[in-house]
């Protein structure tokens, strides 16, 4: 097992290397001058030159052959944009925002807890409703109820997330006034962060006023973000349940005279949940990319909103850093899902 | 090879007829088909139903009119008729969705075909590429690409297409790997069939089913992505009546004028539902083993 984990971890290296290479290529090799893109067509040439020097864009992309042949040292060969970028990455330096000058890494660690909290609650929402709904539909296969659940699930994956978010705000925040339309916490309510996950923090501090307020802020964005994973979980649970219900051991359990409830909960559901766990893990990616849209609509101070603002400002180091961070996270979560899966299911061979 | 051409032909035809019959009996699939045909027809006829001219499309005297008999979807802050704009938005979304997916299918399928068929280092590189591209969840890669290329509808199309390529590469490659070892391909190879003939005559046609299923579902995803990029300001630019961009414009004043966002959103939702219903039905018909998924 240890050997398997090590092998999988080593297998990540070429992929993560490729991801960094791709991001570098997208931002530097694609035709077009980033300085012009950032400053606009009408900016003065001197200003562009200064920004280019500031960002190190005046140096060669891959190898500094010119400087190496002038100075005769091999080290000078690596005085290039690419090695600068990789050197920074390896030492955890993602650059600074062009406008605020705040290091990208610092903003990431400040904002990630907000995104994580929203993602976890959205996932919770998806599982809490999705698994029972899927089981319910599977037990009534072919009935009107089954068709209805599956049709609703199919509509769930067809919603534009940002539009759903706007409609939720319009109905439940603006018209009914049940939930706040934006933000994480009502200004004025004191909360000393510990982990940065506000719901957890407020509970740890025993501050139930804040906990209630945080929860109210979380509900609408979590529903908007969780709808697509919810639909996926429903479909997966149903199909997995249907497969398991046809297995011999379920028939045996029934033949033994076990009650329907016991057959479903103890024998069928436990086995049916395996693929569902995978799907839940994999929807983490859907949630992270959906967070850009949801956080934008709800003014949620996470990574998604930050990247969105950076796009509007053409703040390239922030866009690069944010995209790189999410891609790395996604790759790691996928690996974790795979490993968990092989732990739960002993039939999987570690080879 | 020894089967008379006519017999093989009639066999193929009855298989086709069988599938067509199963499709026509698929209730949700037919609903999806009706929705798509409706959207395509309306988009094609849009210039006839309501001619659109971006330059003259405004009526400042009818600004922010709620839906009424004259403006059934209402008007925006420039007095532009939302109904006309939603109508013409369909032309954009459907076209971009279909083209983006079409390009991705051709490139991705060919790359996956060669990777699976030739194996070796070509395959190693292909798998590496697939893994890298799939490391970016959802529209993240598209966002990174368009943010660099500059926001425009064309760049959004290119970006969405790139994000779909690895899906088809992986799909085709895995199908090819399983078909390559099958008896009929092995015997064609033993009979001395040329490599090109093996690939395009035996392997490709038999990998088509899963590709067609994926294609139908991808168009829905592409329509959602176009809209998402438009909403983020990275896709179509004003005054383009693209649905995502319309929701972006409406978002600024959705408390005062919710109709600005509601109708383009319903259009996106319905068209995507159409393609998803159709995709599900196509999967049931072409690949009955996957029926429960």
pLDDT tens digits along A18-48: 888 888 888 766 555 667 766 777 777 888 7
Question: Which of B55, B44, B33 lies closest to B88, judged by CA?
Answer: B44
Query: Which among B137, B265, B292 has the least Cβ separation from residue A160?
Result: B265
Listed in sequence order, the DSSP H helices in B134-152 are 140-149
Question: Which of A31, A322, A288 lies closest to B139, judged by CA?
Answer: A288
Residue A167: list chain B partners with CB under 8 A: 261-262, 265
Select, from the ranges A34-43, A122-131, B142-151, B191-200, the one with the highest average predicted confidence (pLDDT). Answer: A122-131
Query: Which among A19, A21, A158 has the least Cβ separation from residue B269?
Result: A158
Distance from the Cα of B56 to chain A's closest Cα (Å) equals 28
- For the question of whether the overall pTM of this predicted structure is more than 0.80, the answer is yes
Is A108 in the B-facing interface, judged by CB distances under 8 Å?
Answer: no
Q: Which residue from A minimizes the CA distance to B272?
A: A158
DSSP for residue A28: I
Q: For the residues A59-87, what does the mean pLDDT come to?
A: 74
Distance (Å, whole) CA B270 – CA B262: 12
* Whether A263 contacts A194, CB under 8 Å: no
User: B82-118 and B204-231 helices cross at what angle (nearest 10)?
Assistant: 140
Q: Could you report the per-residue pLDDT of A217-273, keeping only the tens digit for each? A: 899 999 999 999 999 899 888 888 888 877 777 777 777 777 777 777 777 777 778
Alpha carbon of residue A37 to chain centroid? 28
Instruction: Please report, in angstroms and rounded to a whole number, the separation of the first and last CA atoms in chain B.
Output: 36
pLDDT recorded at residue A34: 64
B46: its two tokens: 């849009």
Listed in sequence order, the DSSP H helices in B181-255 are 183-190, 195-197, 204-231, 243-251
User: Would the pLDDT of A296 be above 60?
Assistant: yes
* Whether B172 contacts B211, CB under 8 Å: yes
Q: Which residue from A minimizes the CA distance to B291?
A: A239
Residue B144: list chain A partners with CB under 8 A: 23, 26-27, 319-320, 323
Instruction: Please report, in angstroms and rounded to a whole number, the separation of the first and last CA atoms in chain A.
Output: 9
The residue length of chain B stands at 293
What's the complex ipTM?
A: 0.84
Question: Which of A324, A321, A302, A326 lies closest to A113, judged by CA?
Answer: A302
Tally of CA atoms within 13 A in the half-sphere of A297 that contains its CB = 32
């Amino acid at each position: 097992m240890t050997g398997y984990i090590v092998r999988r971890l080593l297998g990540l290296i070429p992929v993560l290397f490729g991801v960094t290479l791709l991001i570098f290529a997208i931002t530097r090799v694609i035709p077009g001058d980033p300085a012009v893109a950032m400053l606009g067509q009408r900016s003065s040439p001197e200003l562009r030159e200064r920004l280019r020097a500031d960002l190190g864009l005046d140096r060669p992309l891959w190898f500094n052959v010119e400087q190496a042949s002038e100075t005769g040292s091999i080290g000078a060969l690596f005085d290039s944009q690419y090695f600068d970028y990789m050197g920074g990455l390896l030492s955890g330096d993602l650059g600074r925002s062009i406008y605020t000058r705040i290091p990208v890494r610092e903003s990431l660690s400040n904002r990630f807890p907000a995104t994580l909290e929203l993602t976890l609650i959205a996932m919770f929402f998806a599982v809490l409703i999705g698994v029972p709904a899927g089981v319910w539909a599977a037990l009534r296969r072919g009935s009107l109820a089954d068709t209805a659940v599956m049709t609703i699930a199919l509509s769930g994956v067809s919603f534009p997330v940002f539009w759903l978010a706007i409609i939720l705000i319009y109905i439940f925040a603006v018209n009914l006034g049940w939930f706040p339309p934006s933000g994480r916490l009502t200004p004025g309510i004191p909360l000393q962060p510990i982990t940065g996950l506000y719901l957890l923090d407020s509970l740890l501090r025993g501050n139930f006023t804040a906990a209630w307020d945080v929860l109210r802020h979380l509900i609408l964005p979590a529903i908007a973000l969780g709808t697509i994973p919810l639909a996926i979980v429903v479909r997966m649970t149903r199909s997995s349940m249907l497969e398991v219900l046809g297995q011999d051991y379920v028939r045996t359990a029934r033949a033994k005279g076990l009650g329907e409830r016991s057959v479903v909960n103890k024998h069928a559901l436990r086995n049916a949940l395996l693929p569902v766990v995978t799907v839940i893990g994999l929807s983490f990616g859907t949630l992270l990319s959906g967070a850009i849209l949801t956080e934008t609509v709800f003014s949620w101070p996470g990574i998604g909103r930050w990247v969105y603002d950076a796009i509007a400002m053409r703040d390239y180091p922030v866009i690069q850093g944010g995209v790189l961070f999410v891609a790395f996270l996604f790759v790691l979560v996928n690996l974790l899902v795979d490993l968990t899966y092989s732990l739960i299911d002993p039939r999987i061979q570690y080879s | 090879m020894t089967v008379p051409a006519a017999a093989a032909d009639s066999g193929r035809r009855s298989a086709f007829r069988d599938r067509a019959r199963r499709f026509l009996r698929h209730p949700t699939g037919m609903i999806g088909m009706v929705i798509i045909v409706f959207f395509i027809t309306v988009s094609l006829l849009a210039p006839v139903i309501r001619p659109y001219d971006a330059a003259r499309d405004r009526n400042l005297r009818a600004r922010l009119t709620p839906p009424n008999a004259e403006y059934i979807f209402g008007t925006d802050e420039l007095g532009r008729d939302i109904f006309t704009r939603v109508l013409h938005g369909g032309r954009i979304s459907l076209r971009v969705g279909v083209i983006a997916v079409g390009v991705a299918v051709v490139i991705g399928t060919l790359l996956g075909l060669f990777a699976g068929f030739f194996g070796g280092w070509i395959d190693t590189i292909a798998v590496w590429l697939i893994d890298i591209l799939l490391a970016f969840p959802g529209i993240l890669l598209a966002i990174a690409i368009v943010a660099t290329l500059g926001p425009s509808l064309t760049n959004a199309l290119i970006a969405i297409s790139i994000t779909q390529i690895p899906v088809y590469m992986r799909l085709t490659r895995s199908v090819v790997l399983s078909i390559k070892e099958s008896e009929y391909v092995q015997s064609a190879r033993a009979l001395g069939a040329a490599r090109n003939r093996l690939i395009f005559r035996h392997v490709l046609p038999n990998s088509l089913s899963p590709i067609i299923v994926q294609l139908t579902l991808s168009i829905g995803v592409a329509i959602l992505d176009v809209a998402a990029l438009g909403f983020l300001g990275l896709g179509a630019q004003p005054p383009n009546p693209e649905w995502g961009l319309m929701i972006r414009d409406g978002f600024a004043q959705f408390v005062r004028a919710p109709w600005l966002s509601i109708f383009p959103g319903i259009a996106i939702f319905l068209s995507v539902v159409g393609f998803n219903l159709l995709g599900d039905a196509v999967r049931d018909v072409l690949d009955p083993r996957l029926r429960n998924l």
